[in-house]
């Protein structure tokens, strides 16, 4: 049998890859994809806990995370389109005309 | 090593490699394709955990709907030109990536040590809780309120996406 | 189960009202074209009805929808604050030139104001981590859309993109924290989480990791340092009505959620009974973390505000600093601290909305939010300048304004429980804030005195809204008894003695 830890380690690695993607990439679309990776790794943690604890709550949570991820992706991509109309770019560095 | 473990390691390795490819490819289209691949691998992992319903909606919603949306936007913005995609790696970014790696190593070690005493067997209930029947039952009783809130959230997202992506301001 | 759901629906009237108004706003916009003022008045009426239902709920303490949602006096207080803010924001929106430029469709705008309000009401009462996540997302998603509503200007779209990227990452962190907590306790209900942690045997390392990740999510909502980077840009780029809304209501909801999570989740009834005050479950010393975050938040907020020339940005940093002050109340960990935060929010509502309102009016008239363009304003628009000055004095926390009362109770709570160094840091920070507020003051009254001034005209409705905000700011500074009583009576969080 596969220990629970293996699943947790896998999801932690995927989460970290997502975080690195968000920090390192400048293309807004790829940044959003990295965020989807992060959310998916959380789903993996939840499903694994749910199966090992014998408790449906985790899988219910995944259902809602999927819903929210879909909503967030739709709005995020709409914002990218609106911005592209104004500035003709999706590079996050180029759109930082606002100072920090 | 049992067959289960071998299958798990193959799936885990493919999902990690495809995730790394997602964040390192220059062209967003190729990234999308690897991400879809990653999601399908995850769906198979969910199946090994007896979460059939989640595995199916993972493929339908994520690989089907969300990723098609991504592809559609990439096409719409026509980002094929190479010069638009050049990215600089600055020292600030290096520090950020270094910090992220350190943090994630800590999380991995922290979590894997913390859950050492947890059950290392799938719960006998695992085969029952992932079915559509059981999830539907719980969803419309105990989780009724979150379900309704999720529907409002989707309504807001639909209208918001249309409002923002529409060309005219009025 | 059916009976339980039906009973729950009866207590859920304020939220149901808002859902009806949300759908009505969208449908009416389809039928009656280009009548934004009509939709605004319907939305306003809906908010008043919801407010009526909320006030009816005072004194109720129940858990509804299978313990997903809690109605108690604590949530009622914050709901009143949020609904009042929403009513003022709708009033501002009806007058804003930036929004009512004749071409923009505003039906959806008001619908999103309602969905955001609904999300925030749910945040105040969520007692399940799933509900907390969903309500935060409903609020955030609506605010991403509203921040980008002036989509023809690059600033607004940029603000929106920055907001959604920061928001999505921090909600990812929050989720990861929640998933670890779920693995540790096997439940998402914060009361059950509390039970399991009390029994012991939960790995402390994983618990701290989960909570640090969750603090990222909460810190983003209340814009605490170091999760505040989005705040100035979003506040500057978003329509100013939305900036005002975010700076008050979204913060109030974030605080309510954070306080409920920490107080219910880590409440140790046995030790609390022995000590006679609120005690957290052994070994988890999170109030030190909050104290450090609070000091960082107010100091960075105030010192960065000093360098700002755009008033919206200045008020953004000042609102970060105010979040820092309010976090001091969380550090104290007792009812006195919670009631001090509530009093602070009630006063902050009027003074901060007021400051944003005047900035909006002046920007509509002179087309600039720059501090330098406020030179001689005291002679061009004497009434508005004096009102603005009152709001700024109140934001600094000087008597005889409401801001003083807010700070007084906060510092009193700190000193009574021995956090003297934190109180001193807070007072020093208020002194720094005086510097940048006085800069505006000086520009309005002491610059360009000699030249001829063209008076700026305002309509009577502008004066009415300004008075609605300035009168409470002054009255609460002198006659604060009822507010203090209301706040002290409202500290009851369900399940905590």
Q: What is the DSSP string of A17-80?
A: HHHHHHHH--BHHHHHHHHHHHHHHHHHHHHHHHHHHT-THHHHHHHHHHHHHHHHHHHHHHHH
- Most confident residue range from C22-31, C203-212, C445-454, C486-495: C22-31
Closest CA to C313 of C107, C159, C157, C434: C159
Mutate to test the interface with C, among A69, A72, A91 (most CBs of C within 10 A): A72
Q: How confident is the model over C179-199, as pLDDT tens digits?
A: 999 998 989 999 999 999 888
Buried b (16+ CB within 10 A) or exposed e, B114-127: bbeebeeebbebbe
The pLDDT of residue B170 is: 45
Burial of B170 (0-12, 13-18, 19+ CB in 10 A): exposed
* Residue numbers in C near A76 (CB within 8 A): 144, 161, 164-165, 168
The pLDDT of residue B99 is: 80
C20 pLDDT band, cuts 50/70/90, is very high
What the block records as the tokens of C42 is 């319907």
The pLDDT of residue C287 is: 77
The pLDDT of residue C276 is: 66
Q: State how far Cα C329 lies from the chain centre.
A: 15
Please, which chains are in contact with B (at least 3 CB pairs closer than 8 A)?
A, C
CB atoms closer than 10 angstroms to residue B84 = 15
Rounded Cα gap, residues C457 and C381, in angstroms: 7
CA atoms within 13 A on the CB side of A57: 20
Which of B146, B164, B170 shows the shortest C-beta gap to C145? B164
Minimum mean pLDDT among A95-99, C40-44, C76-80: which range?
Answer: A95-99
pTM score: 0.95
Looking at CA atoms only, how far is residue C400 from chain B in angstroms?
43
Cα–Cα distances in Å, from B137 out to A56, B125, C1, C71, C493? 11, 16, 12, 26, 31
C450 pLDDT band, cuts 50/70/90, is confident
Q: How confident is the model over C289-331, as pLDDT tens digits?
A: 889 999 999 999 999 999 898 999 999 999 999 999 999 988 8
Rounded to 10 degrees, the C-alpha dihedral C177/C183/C184/C190 comes to: 70
Mutate to test the interface with A, among C141, C157, C202 (most CBs of A within 10 A): C157
Mean pLDDT of chain C: 90
Instruction: Answer whether C318's CB lies under 8 Å from C301's CB.
Output: yes
Q: Are the Cβ atoms of B138 and A9 closer than 8 angstroms?
A: no
Domains and CATH numbers, chain A: 4-87 (1.10.287.3510)
3-class DSSP state of C109: helix
**Interface residue A80 vs chain C (CB under 8 A):** yes
Which of C5, C122, C134 shows the shortest C-beta gap to B144? C5
Please, which chains are in contact with A (at least 3 CB pairs closer than 8 A)?
B, C
Rounded Cα gap, residues B59 and B66, in angstroms: 10
Rounded Cα gap, residues C108 and C106, in angstroms: 5
Instruction: Answer whether C121's CB lies under 8 Å from C15's CB.
Output: yes
Mutate to test the interface with C, among B160, B161, B166, B168 (most CBs of C within 10 A): B160
Q: Are the Cβ atoms of C206 and B114 closer than 8 angstroms?
A: yes
Domains and CATH numbers, chain B: 1-83 (1.20.120.1200)
Q: What is the mean pLDDT of residues A43-64?
A: 92
Q: What is the ipTM of this complex?
A: 0.95
Q: Is the pLDDT of residue A100 over 50?
A: no
pLDDT higher for C19 or B26? C19
A68 pLDDT band, cuts 50/70/90, is very high
Q: Are the Cβ atoms of B110 and C205 closer than 8 angstroms?
A: yes
Burial of B149 (0-12, 13-18, 19+ CB in 10 A): buried
* Residue numbers in C near B141 (CB within 8 A): 1, 5, 66
Q: Is the pLDDT of residue B11 over 80?
A: yes
* Residue numbers in C near B150 (CB within 8 A): 134
pLDDT higher for C18 or A1? C18
Which of A55, A65, A92 shows the shortest C-beta gap to C175? A65
Phi, psi of A27 (to 5 degrees): -80, 120
B86 pLDDT band, cuts 50/70/90, is low
Rounded Cα gap, residues C420 and C411, in angstroms: 9
**Interface residue B152 vs chain C (CB under 8 A):** yes
3-class DSSP state of C218: helix
Q: Which of residues 97 through 116 in chain C touch B, CB cutoff 8 A? A: 103-105, 108, 111-112, 115
Q: What is the mean pLDDT of residues B69-83?
A: 76
Q: Are the Cβ atoms of B144 and C65 closer than 8 angstroms?
A: yes
Q: What is the mean pLDDT of residues B82-111?
A: 72
* Residue numbers in A near B76 (CB within 8 A): 81
Rounded Cα gap, residues C2 and C8, in angstroms: 10
Looking at CA atoms only, how far is residue C158 from chain A in angstroms?
7
Rounded Cα gap, residues C350 and C328, in angstroms: 21
Please list the residues that pair with C189 across neighbouring strands. Answer: C128
Cis peptide before C400 (omega within 30 of 0): yes
Q: Is the pLDDT of residue C225 over 50?
A: yes
Q: Are the Cβ atoms of B159 and C111 closer than 8 angstroms?
A: yes
CB atoms closer than 10 angstroms to residue C37 = 11
Q: Is the pLDDT of residue C334 over 50?
A: yes
Closest CA to C262 of C283, C228, C286: C286
Q: Is the pLDDT of residue B81 over 70?
A: no
**Given the structure tokens 């858990």, which residue do they identify?**
C63
């Amino acid at each position: 049998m596969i220990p629970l830890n293996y699943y947790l380690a896998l999801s932690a690695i995927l989460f970290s890859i997502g975080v690195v993607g968000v920090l390192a990439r400048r293309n807004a679309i790829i940044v959003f994809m990295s965020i989807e990776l992060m959310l998916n790794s959380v789903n993996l943690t939840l499903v694994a806990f749910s199966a090992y604890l014998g408790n449906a709550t985790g899988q219910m949570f995944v259902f809602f995370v999927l819903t929210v991820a879909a909503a967030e992706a739709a709005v995020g991509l709409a914002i990218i389109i609106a911005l592209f109309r104004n500035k003709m770019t999706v590079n996050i560095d180029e759109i930082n005309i606002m100072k920090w | 090593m049992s067959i289960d473990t071998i299958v798990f390691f193959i799936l885990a390795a493919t999902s990690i490699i495809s995730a790394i490819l997602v964040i390192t490819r220059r062209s967003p289209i190729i990234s999308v394709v690897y991400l879809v691949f990653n999601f399908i691998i995850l769906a198979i992992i969910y199946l090994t955990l007896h979460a059939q319903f989640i595995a199916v909606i993972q493929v339908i919603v994520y690989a089907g709907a969300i990723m098609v949306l991504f592809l559609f936007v990439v096409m719409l913005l026509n980002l094929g030109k190479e010069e638009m995609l050049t990215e600089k790696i600055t020292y600030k970014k290096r520090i950020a990536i270094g910090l992220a790696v350190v943090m994630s190593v800590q999380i991995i070690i922290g979590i894997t040590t913390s859950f050492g005493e947890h059950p290392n067997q799938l719960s006998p209930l695992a085969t029952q809780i992932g079915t559509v029947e059981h999830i539907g039952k719980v969803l419309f009783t105990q989780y009724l309120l979150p379900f309704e809130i999720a529907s409002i959230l989707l309504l807001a997202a639909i209208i918001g996406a249309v409002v923002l992506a529409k060309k005219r301001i009025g | 189960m059916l009976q339980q759901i039906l009973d729950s629906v009866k207590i859920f009237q304020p939220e149901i009202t808002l859902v009806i108004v949300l759908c009505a706003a969208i449908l009416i916009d389809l039928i009656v074209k280009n009548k934004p003022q009509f939709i605004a008045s319907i939305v306003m009426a809906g908010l008043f009805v919801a407010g009526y239902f909320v006030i009816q709920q005072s004194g109720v303490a129940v858990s509804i929808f299978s313990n997903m949602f809690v109605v108690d006096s604590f949530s009622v207080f914050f709901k009143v604050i949020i609904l009042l803010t929403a009513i003022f924001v709708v009033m501002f929106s009806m007058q804003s030139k930036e929004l009512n430029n004749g071409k923009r469709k505003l039906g959806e705008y008001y619908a999103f104001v309602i969905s955001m309000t609904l999300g925030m009401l749910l945040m105040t009462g969520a007692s399940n981590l799933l509900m907390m996540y969903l309500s935060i997302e409903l609020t955030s998603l609506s605010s991403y859309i509203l921040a980008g509503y002036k989509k023809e200007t690059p600033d607004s779209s940029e603000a929106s993109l920055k907001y959604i990227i920061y928001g999505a990452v921090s909600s990812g962190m929050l989720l990861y924290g929640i998933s670890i907590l779920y693995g540790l306790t096997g439940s998402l209900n914060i009361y059950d989480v509390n039970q399991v942690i009390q029994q012991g045997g939960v790995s402390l390392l994983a618990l701290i990791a989960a909570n640090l990740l969750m603090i990222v999510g909460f810190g983003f909502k209340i814009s605490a340092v170091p999760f505040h980077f989005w705040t100035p840009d979003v506040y500057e780029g978003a329509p100013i009505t939305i900036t005002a809304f975010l700076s008050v209501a979204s913060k109030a909801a974030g605080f309510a959620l954070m306080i409920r999570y920490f107080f219910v989740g880590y409440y140790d009834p046995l030790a609390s009974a022995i000590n006679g005050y609120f005690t957290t479950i052994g070994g988890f010393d999170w109030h030190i973390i909050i104290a450090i975050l609070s000091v960082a938040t107010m100091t960075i907020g105030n010192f960065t505000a000093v360098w700002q020339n755009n008033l919206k940005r200045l008020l953004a940093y000042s609102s970060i600093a105010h979040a820092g002050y309010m976090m001091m109340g969380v550090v104290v960990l007792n009812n006195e601290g919670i009631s001090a935060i509530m009093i602070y929010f009630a006063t902050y509502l009027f003074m901060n909305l007021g400051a944003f309102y005047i900035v909006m009016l002046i920007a509509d008239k002179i087309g600039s939010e720059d501090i330098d363009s406020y030179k001689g304003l005291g002679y061009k628009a004497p009434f508005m300048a004096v009102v603005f000055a009152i709001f700024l004095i109140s934001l600094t926390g000087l008597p005889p304004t409401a801001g003083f009362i807010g700070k007084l109770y906060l510092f009193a709570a700190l000193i009574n429980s021995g956090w003297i160094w934190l109180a001193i840091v807070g007072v020093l920070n208020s002194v720094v804030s005086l510097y940048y507020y006085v800069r505006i003051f000086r520009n309005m009254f002491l610059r360009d005195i000699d030249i001829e001034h063209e008076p700026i005209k305002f309509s009577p409705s502008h004066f009415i809204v300004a008075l609605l905000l300035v009168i409470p700011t002054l009255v609460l500074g002198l006659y604060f008894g009822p507010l203090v009583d209301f706040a002290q009576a409202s500290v009851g969080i369900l399940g905590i003695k």
